[in-house]
Amino acid sequence: MGGTSEKTINLKLKIWKQNGPDDKGHFIEHEAKSVSTDMSFLEMMDVVNEDLVKAGKSPVEFDHDCREGICGACSMVINGNPHGPDTATTTCQLHMRRFQDGQTVVIEPFRARAFPVVRDLVVDRSAFDRIIQAGGFISVNTGNAQDANALPVPKVDADEAFASAACIGCGACVAVCKNASANLFVSAKITHLGLVPQGQAERDERARNMVQQMDQEGFGACTNTGACSAACPKEISLENIAQMNKDFLKASLKDRS
Amino acid sequence: MDLNTTFEADKDTVVMSSLLRLVKSTIGSKSLVGVTGLGLSLFVLSHMAGNLLILVDPKMYNLYGHALVTNPLIYLAEMGLIALFLAHVVKAVLLTFVNRQARPQKYAMASSGDKATSAVTKTMWAQGLIIFVFVILHLFTFKFGNYYEVIYDGEPVRDLHRLVVEVFAQPGYLVGYIIALLILGLHLSHGVGSAFQTLGFNHPKYTPMIKKISCLYAFIVAGGFIAQPLYVFFIYKG
Ligand code: HEM
Ligand code: FES
């Protein structure tokens, strides 16, 4: 590749292998030789898998899709950090130049009761989908779109809503939280929709239903450690959680049903 | 059938069910921990401030205690405090169990570097348990401890000052007390600010200030309490 000073490193990998949700799982050790520092972490994993297949072993399953930090499919906990050591970075955007020659790298799946392991590093994050189904939407009747000017949105609100909307739903917040709490994810959705005029009609119901679903899925409560925001590849702020708490408390006290 | 009464009854159960749902939810539970935590924080500040009289004069200290326990409102205040304390502890412990269950399998490595979190915030429950044990012991040592009396202007008053001097003459007590109060300080340094976040207040302009005030608050409360036995042990000469 032009313009880059390609270097290679050797790594000792300890990778989680688990045959299915009911398997106990264990670490396998693998020497990754001559890893280009220009590779992304996922590319490194692709090479590891080719080596494993060539050696007649089964490859390590992991989730990925866009590989450009926007879809939220990639996961993995790398040396204890979801999406690895860099802030504001997804695993697919993490580069091997971030690692040292000879370093041991421990790779685990996101661990949470609400995210059961499907296989190896792949976990089932459909709990997030069910939370969205419980209220993470705005109901709009079909027909002509309104004139945009008919719905003024203050610039500050638009900016804040946009910052919350940056959440890609990867689940790193759950993975890093000592309580496996989904507060950052759920609050980003509640805040995003609660800041725009179209979201007002369902605002109370949304807060109540999404929080109820979140609790039912078996995520823990927030203890304000701030780990989620620090690990979030989109740097979603803790302000979202405070906003969700406020919306939920208000909506619950107002509840007539 | 009397439609009116069924309507009233339904309304009652409906009100209960929505409030019950709130109290059972994680966010409702945590808010209760926050509100009661703030209430307890105000109590410890006033408790510390009042007891500072020990640095001034034994008689004033004893008369302050006497004024508190002879005020008829004391029972109301004590019941309120017990309720705050128990609600805080019960909800905090229940939440800790929920939080534990949410991650049945631990990681092989802890997060580190930019993604690490402070030990104080991660161990609030453990600090709480130590505070809980301390509070019980504290009540037995002082409130239900040896009863000495002293006569001021012909009126018998409990000589708490003597008990305090006697207890803190023992180095073991002194050290144990200081450790417990340092832990309360840690609990408050995170807790006071955290309660604002829990109750829905986070603002880029004020939250950094609230966090600093939280630490200052903890420093004042813990420092003010710790100064008292230190004074009694090292400076007070009877
Ligand atoms: C005088 C005694 C106490 C005071 C002043 C106090 C104060 C506080 C405050 C202000 C909070 C923050 C609430 C929030 O984040 O919303 C808190 C949280 C907490 N307290 Fe206490 N507390 C006391 C005793 C206890 C005891 C005895 C226990 C447990 C047995 C306990 C366990 C907890 C737990 C588990 C939390 C939640 C921590 C978290 O969210 O990370 N506390 N406390
Ligand atoms: S693969 Fe899409 S964000 Fe990483």
Look up the CATH number of the domain holding residue A36. Answer: 3.10.20.30
**pLDDT at site A144:** 85
- Those residues of chain B that have pLDDT short of 50 are 1-9
Query: Tokens at residue A207, please?
Result: 């807060």
- State whether A255 and B117 contact (CB < 8 Å): no
Residue B4 confidence (pLDDT): 43
At residue A199, φ and ψ (nearest 5 deg) are -90, -5
DSSP state of A191: H
Of the bound ligands, which one is closest to the alpha carbon of residue B96?
1
End-to-end CA distance of chain A: 63
Domain interval for residue A98? 8-117
Q: From the CA of B41, how many Å to the nearest CA of chain A?
A: 18
pTM: 0.94
Return the pLDDT at A4.
57
Q: Is residue A245 part of a domain?
A: yes
- Of all helices (H) and strands (E), which one includes residue B5? helix B3-24
Q: Find the CATH number of the domain harbouring A177.
A: 1.10.1060.10
Atom of ligand 1 nearest to the CA of B199: 16
Give pLDDT, residue B16.
Answer: 62
Q: Are residues A136 and A88 in the same domain?
A: no
Beta-carbon separation of B102 and A112 below 8 A: yes
Query: Do B200 and A245 lie within an 8 Å CB cutoff?
Result: yes
Instruction: Assess whether A135 and A105 both reside in one domain.
Output: no
Q: Which residues contact B91 (CB under 8 A, 6 or more apart)?
A: B29, B30, B32, B33, B36
Q: Nearest C-alpha of chain B: how many angstroms from A241?
A: 8
Going by CA atoms, what residue is nearest to atom 8 of ligand 1? B37
For B23-33, write each residue's pLDDT tens digit: 999 999 999 99
Residue A2 lies in a domain: no
Question: What pLDDT, on the 0 to 100 scale, is given for residue B7?
Answer: 44
Task: Tell me which of A117, A135, A170 is where a domain ends.
Answer: A117
| Percent of chain A topping pLDDT 70 | 98
Residue B114 near chain A (CB below 8 Å): yes
Final residue in a domain of this structure, among A94, A117, A140: A117
Q: Which ligand is nearest to the CA of A63?
A: 2
Nearest-ligand number for the alpha carbon of A68: 2
What is the count of structural domains for chain A?
2
* Predicted local distance difference test score (pLDDT) of residue B1: 39
Any atom of ligand 2 within 6 Å of the Cβ of A172: no
- Judge if the beta carbon of residue B195 lies within 6 A of ligand 1: yes
Q: Do A95 and A216 belong together in one domain?
A: no
Cβ–ligand 2 distance for A171 under 6 Å, the answer no
Å from CA of A11 to ligand 2 middle: 23
pLDDT at B17: 81
Please check whether residue A113 is in contact with residue B102, taking contact to mean a CB–CB distance below 8 angstroms.
yes
Assigned fold of B28-102+117-234 = 3 helical TM bundles of succinate and fumarate reductases (1.20.1300)
Output the pLDDT for position A148: 80
Q: How many residues does chain B have?
A: 238
A113 with A204, same domain?
no
| Beta carbon of A71 within 6 Å of any ligand 2 atom | yes
Q: Is residue A46 part of a domain?
A: yes
Which residues of chain A fall short of a pLDDT of 70? 1-5
pLDDT of residue A210: 98
Helices (H), chain A: 41-54, 126-133, 155-165, 172-176, 183-194, 203-216, 227-231, 239-254
Instruction: Tell whether ligand 2 has an atom less than 6 A from the beta carbon of residue A92.
Output: yes
Chain B residues 138-167 within an 8 A CB cutoff of chain A: none
Whether residue A106 and residue B108 make contact (CB cut-off 8 A), yes or no, is: yes
User: Pairing state of beta strands A8-17 and A81-82?
Assistant: unpaired
For chain B, positions 19-38, list CB contacts with chain A under 8 A.
19, 21-22, 25-31
Angle between helices B26-51 and B58-70 (to 10 degrees): 140
- Judgement on whether residues A168 and A210 belong to the same structural domain of the protein: yes
Q: What is the pLDDT of residue B11?
A: 52
